[in-house]
Structure 1
Amino acid sequence: MSFGKRVVTGYILGFKEESNLQGVKDILDVLDEEPLFDEKRLRFYRWAASYYCSPLGEVLKLIHPAGLNIKDQRYISITDVGMEFLQKGMEDRVRVSDILKFISEKKVVSFKTLAKSLNIKNPYNMIAQLKEQNLITEARQIKGGIKEKKGVFVSVRQGIGDDITARLKKSAPLQAKVVSFLSDKGEVPLSLLRKELGNVDSSVRRLGEKGIVSIWEKEVDRNPFEPADKREISFEPNKEQSDAISLITAAVRKGKFSPFLLHGVTGSGKTFVYLNVIKEAVNGGKRVIILVPEISLTYGLIRYLTGIFPSKVAVVHSGLSEGERYDQWKKIRDGKVDIVIGARSAVFSPLKDIGLIVVDEEHDASYKQEDGVRYNARDLSVMLAKMLDAVVVLGSATPSVETFYNAQHGKITLISLEKRVEGRPMPYVELVDMRNLSSGHESRGHPAQRGHGSWRVPSVRGHGERVKTQDSSISERLKSVLSDAFDKKEQAILFLNRRGFSNFIICRDCGHIFKCINCSVSMTFHKRENAMRCHYCDLSVPVPNLCPKCNGYNMKDIGVGTERLEEDVRRIFVKIRIARMDRDTTQKKRAHESILNAVESGMADVLVGTQMVTKGHDFPNVSVMGIISADTSMNIPDFRSSERTFQLITQAAGRAGRGDVKGRVIVQTFNPEHYCFRSVLNHDYISFFNEEIKIRKEAFYPPFCRLVNMRIEGNSEKKVVHAASVLRKIADKHLKPFKGDIILLGPVSAFLSVLRGKHRWHMLVKGSNVKSLHGFIKTISDEFRQNKITGIELIVDVDPQTTV
């Protein structure tokens, strides 16, 4: 419909027989033959918009692939009158002549191109004047979004026998090969003929002219899958798995809302439980959504699922092209698939008859959208299952504190898998105390509880108080364990949650640290590019020869990232084959799959990477997991920092010893006495939870309250500080009726005080009653926005995963 000077796409959410509204505009066209969603889904979208304090229109944009909406393009061409004007060359109207000349040279030009090329700030008024004078004419083109992909297909016509093939062998041998191939294969795409027989286009055309073959176009699927071998679930479940499968399957058959937490140690076979329950659900006529936190985790599951359910699986994630995403979405909408697997956006898939939703690694922060509609796909999955009377299974070896607390209090049914499959032992964990690390001087410490070791390092001091440190990110103990594994032809994974070569570059003459001009963070050194890059806004600049502050040239890179770790491994173990998996190495399409295949096939001896390498991968020959800097996430000033550290390290540790080889985990830390690391030593989630829940209760943080982060952003620091003060005054004004149910913290400058050029202040709002909290947030947000402070944006983040 028309909206001002544009044509926009809207959504019809209901009908009224009559309306008292004046000036209601007509609908220009209806884009969809069938509704995009039914009443139940619309209720779900309305709930999401309300809960996450977002406009309903923004939520509705999430339900279909980007690029599906139509685009309104306005084009201008010159008239005969305009050509006459141009030929007269009227000197008093030079600007008009310039515009007409540009249009006449281009024949047809869009508004956007005209404004950009001639630097016209507001082209609409100028265009309107020229149209009134009949100097130009305007045309509008409504362009559709993504189109179906068409392919050319060929088949032999009925009644074509061997006698025709025999005649063709003498006069046109290539045509004979085409007919023979088609007779054997039936209908095939022309692309396959080219692949098998070479350049056959002219031969196919002549065969078509002779009436021997049929040639036509039809829609083809942009299939993002590699062909999968047919599979069956051949393993027998153990008793824990069998009990879990029976319990969940019974709930699916009842067709009532049932939430489960599948809490199983790493290697306990949670995926096997998923597959069995999914199979039962599909065989019972139900459809399934499976959420995974990382793109890399979809590949293994996809291979399994497409092998078990050929042509019945769709995938949804950001690694697909626009066309592939559209084709997958269309198959889901048209009811051609039974299973959807994908990252967080898969929760909005238009799948019908949903009976089961699986959220793997439910604790993962990747399920939280950090811009636009700031939803948590795990929580939306629970609500969607509730509204559709479906079963939802949240799976994790390290559940979020909130989820496990809910399970303890009966809101979610807890299912535990306490043992690894086939009686495999949990990996042996050792701590390396890095505080007093010295080059070549390490010694064993006292063993920790339950037979696990702690690796202690004495202090060696010289030259005053400076501590000598080793020249590698890998401790002597880790080197020894890796060497032993490589000698046995076993594999290893090294985890470091920081990409790049080093954390920052410092001038050793004046102490200057190179920081991002857009963000309040230091820039990371990337050696292969010889550049410094900001990992928040992606600004990249070459490494300068001189310090910009003192003109000194004595600069040093400090810290270690995955790029440097890879170099260290290559230097220490010269003959070892290394794969690296981080954002820098996974930019290309299917790069994740290629790297994982290299490890799985034994083409790589060691996998180096960020948290991508810690999640859900199952490599039977990996015997060693080295955690290079276990304290990285612990140092973030956030109430979830200990939880995240425990989850990351436990998940990483779980990658070792999943096959016949025993697993060893070496954790390098500067804080070995922390309860997080004590719990990791013994794979003891309950111990960690009991310590963490006491701290959360004392500080009144989730799960004992609900949390909303209200953030003020803007280009002007002065305006941001003022706006934050206005927000607090409005909040104080409305606080009294809530009688202590709501607590305000701040506003204060955010830990990342400047991000992508925006200054940031925030105020945390805590509340024990969800309804009261949301009412309070809506009231103060609406009043704040009525102030219309220019250059200021208020961002409301409900249930934030981080407060930095």
Structure 2
Amino acid sequence: MSYLQLAIPSPLRRLFDYRPPRECSPEQLSPGVRVKVPFGRREVTGILINVTQHSEVPPDKLKPAIAVLDTTPPMPESILKLARWAANYYQHPLGDALSQALPVLLRKGDPCEYAHQHLWRSTPDADIAQLGKTAARQRELLLLLLEHPNGISEDAIRAEGGQTPLLKKLADKGLAESFIHNTDHHQHNDQPLHEAPLTLNTEQQLAVNAITATPGFKSFLLQGVTGSGKTEVYLQAIEHFIRQGKQALILVPEIGLTPQTVARFKARFNLPVVVLHSNLTDRQRLDTWLQAREGTARIIIGTRSAIFTPLKNPGVIFIDEEHDTSFKQQDGFRYNARDLAVMRANFEQIPVVLGTATPAIESLYNAQQGRYHWLKLNQRAGNARAPEFELLDIRQQPLQDGLSAPLVAQIKHHLQQGTQVLIFLNRRGFAPTLMCHDCGWLADCKRCDAHMTLHRKPFHLHCHHCDSQRPVPIKCDSCGSTELKPVGAGTERTEEALQKLFPSIPVIRVDRDTTQRKNAMQQIMDRVHQGLPCILIGTQMLAKGHHFPKVTLVAILNADSGLFSADFRGMERTAQLILQVAGRAGRADHPGKVVMQTHHADHPTITSLVTEGYQAFAEQELGQRIAAHLPPSIHCAMLRAEASHPGAAERFLGTLRNRLESDILQPQGVQWLGPLPSPMEKRAGLFRAQLVLQCRDRKNLHQQLHNIIREAEGDPDARKVRWSVDVDPVDMF
């Protein structure tokens, strides 16, 4: 008797044994196939890991599986290996990790095949004369079928005014039939390019040569100043692999960057370019996933989860804006797609390229240690010059909705020159909160330790942490006063102020509120690229990857926002954001200028960044991290817990620490920090705490995490809290 060991999507970190289904041949039982099984009171889809002759559970206690859903594993062996490695490294249940690596429809147990489109056509012997004159609607419907000998869908029949319920009557009379039409996804092209490549400068050519030089695994850090032509390096390196019959996978941090990246690739390549992101329907995702797996999609562009997309002929992986924290999944399966890309490239023996203007400190450390090949692009493409920086000290200066008089004068000057202006403010909404002028009451969220943001369109208070919303009060909740005033400025308020200051100039706001509708971001970009004078105001959505040839002035309204963060990465993120935003200025023939409003014009970090550039700042920051024994010189993991009662999460983590810290067999060199309340202790109605573990030896750290998980899973108090493990956390909140 053989038994199936399955990985089931559940919080339990173990495999589950089942008896094989009754109608099942041994040939079907390949590791990686999906198996439908009873699990508690429901039916779930598990992944077969192993077939064994022994089980620790008595045979009469084992349930039989319902069905084997695949003849061959949907995931190729390399992706199965990657998902298993990721589950082990990120200390996550294997069943859930493997499930996350599959498209949603495959998780639900749907067939691993393209959408079959049911079409209707007339039978070969069908004749309109076979219908009597009284069947006028049937005659109309049959005429429509005769006009479409290759078939027509029911949706198209309805669009033409035909009545689909009558199709069955025609079928009963032998005049019509339905059939399944399989779309041919295979496209062959001898000419892979639509347009000729641009001429590369020396630095770009050296980078392309290095990436394409030798087959096999190599990891590259491509550090290029904004506007240095990193995308052109991607395009020409990808062309090399495409001509070898290979595929390319490109990861971008956010959906907002996908349309322009896809447009650039489609303009260059005469090949199928497909996208994978969360805005697609489940059906679209599966069809695209299958095209990549079969090799018909040659270029795949996607966000974080696309790292698990199977490729028939893998050639190269690119991670654009590799420093971006969006590549780290922040809940559930907390993997980092950037780091998994390096591991996947190693498994598949292909090159991986991490591209950015402002490398993450970890990537910089890896480059210095020789783990990454360091490629640098220090000159801007074409005739573009680096923008000029100006620190605008706003101490003791009156501000109108966050705008100083000298900045308004500069905005006016640039608009008069016929160019465009970009205003950066990383706060959406009208104002960060609402305050009572009489007693000082603030509109706080009842479910979080945070203020509620005031929005004008529509008029409401909104917590951006837990998404709770409520109407704007007419009077103060504390003293009853009606003197309620907005505090600070968000993008809505600054947009309103700029519209009053420049009534004849279009003011275009770009934040999550204005880009929710489908294609909204693309419509905004099309409007900006017309080149007419306008003012763009937005959050960090504007900072990444966009090309605005006519923007000559970038204004950063609150350059101090991350200087005093409790997170040790706060300074790094501030510097990256400032330089990414600054890079939108002067990208074509027009010289650019960056004006930074600050209350700390003499702050050493800001002055170093502006005068010496990101490299000097990053090396100084790395030195401080090494001296303070912080990542990347030390390995880090965080246990997070949350509970509905204050102190419960902290007590749970404290108990775990006390049990394990006193164990004489615990791994050497592990340091414990905490447990402590999270910087935002209350969020979405739950009270949160965290326990940080650090160790110079990665193996010892993971051994301790394994011990903690085993202890936590056996703790009865664990049912009263929700806990998770975050390996290599990027957000200490």
| Two-structure CA RMSD over aligned residues (Å) | 3.4
Deviation at 1:199, TM superposition (A): 8.3
Deviation at 1:410, TM superposition (A): 0.8
Equivalent of 1:325 in 285, 297, 319:
285
Separation of aligned partners in 2, 1:308 and 1:201: 43
Contact 1:492 1:624 in 2 (8 A): yes
Matching residue of 1:235: 198
Matching residue of 1:525: 454
Matching residue of 1:35: 73
Contact 2:507 2:537 in 1 (8 A): yes
Matching residue of 1:588: 517
Separation of aligned partners in 1, 2:674 and 2:561: 26
Matching residue of 2:5: none
Matching residue of 1:751: 679
Matching residue of 2:3: none
Matching residue of 1:218: 181
Which segment is superposed worse, 257-266 or 234-243? 234-243
TM superposition score normalised by structure 2: 0.85
Equivalent of 1:474 in 403, 422, 430:
403
Q: After superposition, what is the alpha-carbon deviation per residue over 1:334-369, rounded to whole angstroms, capped at 9, x for unaligned?
A: 332122111110101122332211001000011110
Question: Are 1:59 and 2:97 matched, yes or no?
Answer: yes
Q: How does 1:539-618 map to 2 (within 5 A)?
A: 539-602=468-531, 605-618=534-547
Deviation at 1:34, TM superposition (A): 2.4
Contact 2:454 2:460 in 1 (8 A): yes
Matching residue of 1:335: 295
Separation of aligned partners in 1, 2:445 and 2:703: 39
Q: Which amino acid aligns with 1:712?
A: A
Matching residue of 1:272: 232
Separation of aligned partners in 2, 1:487 and 1:221: 54
Q: Which amino acid aligns with 1:762?
A: Q
Matching residue of 2:210: 247
Contact 1:622 1:655 in 2 (8 A): yes
Separation of aligned partners in 1, 2:152 and 2:549: 40
Q: Measured at CA, do residues 736 and 215 of structure 1 come closer, stay the same or move farther in structure 2, by a change above 3 Å?
A: closer
Matching residue of 1:418: 378
Contact 2:223 2:356 in 1 (8 A): yes
Contact 1:628 1:667 in 2 (8 A): yes
Separation of aligned partners in 1, 2:121 and 2:179: 9
Matching residue of 2:304: 344
Deviation at 1:698, TM superposition (A): 2.1
Separation of aligned partners in 1, 2:417 and 2:174: 65
**Secondary structure at the counterpart of residue 373 of structure 1:** coil
Identity across matched positions, percent: 36
Contact 1:507 1:552 in 2 (8 A): yes
Separation of aligned partners in 2, 1:555 and 1:619: 39
Contact 2:650 2:690 in 1 (8 A): no
Matching residue of 1:7: 43
Matching residue of 2:725: 796
Which segment is superposed worse, 319-328 or 596-605? 596-605
Q: Measured at CA, do residues 2 and 476 of structure 1 come closer, stay the same or move farther in structure 2, by a change above 3 Å?
A: same
Q: How does 1:380-399 map to 2 (within 5 A)?
A: 380-399=340-359
Q: Measured at CA, do residues 575 and 385 of structure 1 come closer, stay the same or move farther in structure 2, by a change above 3 Å?
A: same
Q: Measured at CA, do residues 782 and 619 of structure 1 come closer, stay the same or move farther in structure 2, by a change above 3 Å?
A: same
Separation of aligned partners in 1, 2:498 and 2:158: 42
**Secondary structure at the counterpart of residue 633 of structure 1:** coil
Equivalent of 1:713 in 628, 638, 642:
642
Q: Which amino acid aligns with 1:372?
A: G
Q: Which amino acid aligns with 1:386?
A: N
Separation of aligned partners in 1, 2:152 and 2:386: 51
Deviation at 1:716, TM superposition (A): 0.8
Equivalent of 2:661 in 712, 732, 750:
732
Contact 2:419 2:533 in 1 (8 A): no
Question: Are 1:305 and 2:265 matched, yes or no?
Answer: yes
Matching residue of 1:511: 440
Matching residue of 1:779: 707
Q: How does 1:339-488 map to 2 (within 5 A)?
A: 339-438=299-398, 470-488=399-417
Equivalent of 1:643 in 572, 576, 581:
572
Matching residue of 1:293: 253
Contact 1:402 1:702 in 2 (8 A): yes
Separation of aligned partners in 2, 1:651 and 1:593: 20
Contact 2:84 2:98 in 1 (8 A): no
Structure 1, gaps ≥5 residues long: 72-143, 159-173, 223-228, 439-469
Separation of aligned partners in 1, 2:393 and 2:98: 51
Q: Which amino acid aligns with 1:9?
A: T
TM superposition score normalised by structure 1: 0.78
Q: How does 1:681-720 map to 2 (within 5 A)?
A: 681-682=610-611, 684-720=613-649
Matching residue of 1:497: 426
Contact 1:36 1:350 in 2 (8 A): no
Separation of aligned partners in 1, 2:288 and 2:217: 27
Q: Measured at CA, do residues 490 and 729 of structure 1 come closer, stay the same or move farther in structure 2, by a change above 3 Å?
A: same
Q: Which amino acid aligns with 1:238?
A: N
Which segment is superposed worse, 507-516 or 391-400? 507-516
Q: Measured at CA, do residues 232 and 544 of structure 1 come closer, stay the same or move farther in structure 2, by a change above 3 Å?
A: same
Q: Measured at CA, do residues 746 and 337 of structure 1 come closer, stay the same or move farther in structure 2, by a change above 3 Å?
A: same
Separation of aligned partners in 2, 1:230 and 1:259: 26
Separation of aligned partners in 2, 1:712 and 1:59: 20
Contact 2:105 2:283 in 1 (8 A): no
| Richer in helix (by share) | 1
**Secondary structure at the counterpart of residue 14 of structure 1:** strand
Separation of aligned partners in 1, 2:366 and 2:221: 9
Deviation at 1:577, TM superposition (A): 1.2
Q: Measured at CA, do residues 549 and 340 of structure 1 come closer, stay the same or move farther in structure 2, by a change above 3 Å?
A: same
Contact 1:146 1:323 in 2 (8 A): no
Question: Are 1:316 and 2:276 matched, yes or no?
Answer: yes
Separation of aligned partners in 2, 1:337 and 1:155: 31
**Secondary structure at the counterpart of residue 672 of structure 1:** coil
Contact 1:64 1:329 in 2 (8 A): no
Q: How does 1:161-200 map to 2 (within 5 A)?
A: none
Q: How does 1:88-167 map to 2 (within 5 A)?
A: 144=110, 149=115, 151=117
**Secondary structure at the counterpart of residue 690 of structure 2:** strand
Q: Measured at CA, do residues 235 and 147 of structure 1 come closer, stay the same or move farther in structure 2, by a change above 3 Å?
A: closer
Give the count of matched residue pairs.
675
Contact 1:178 1:204 in 2 (8 A): no
Q: After superposition, what is the alpha-carbon deviation per residue over 1:1-41, rounded to whole angstroms, capped at 9, x for unaligned?
A: 12233221111122235556423332211222320223333
Separation of aligned partners in 2, 1:585 and 1:762: 35
**Secondary structure at the counterpart of residue 627 of structure 2:** helix
Q: Which amino acid aligns with 1:775?
A: Q
Q: Measured at CA, do residues 716 and 328 of structure 1 come closer, stay the same or move farther in structure 2, by a change above 3 Å?
A: same
Contact 1:193 1:200 in 2 (8 A): no
Separation of aligned partners in 2, 1:737 and 1:156: 75
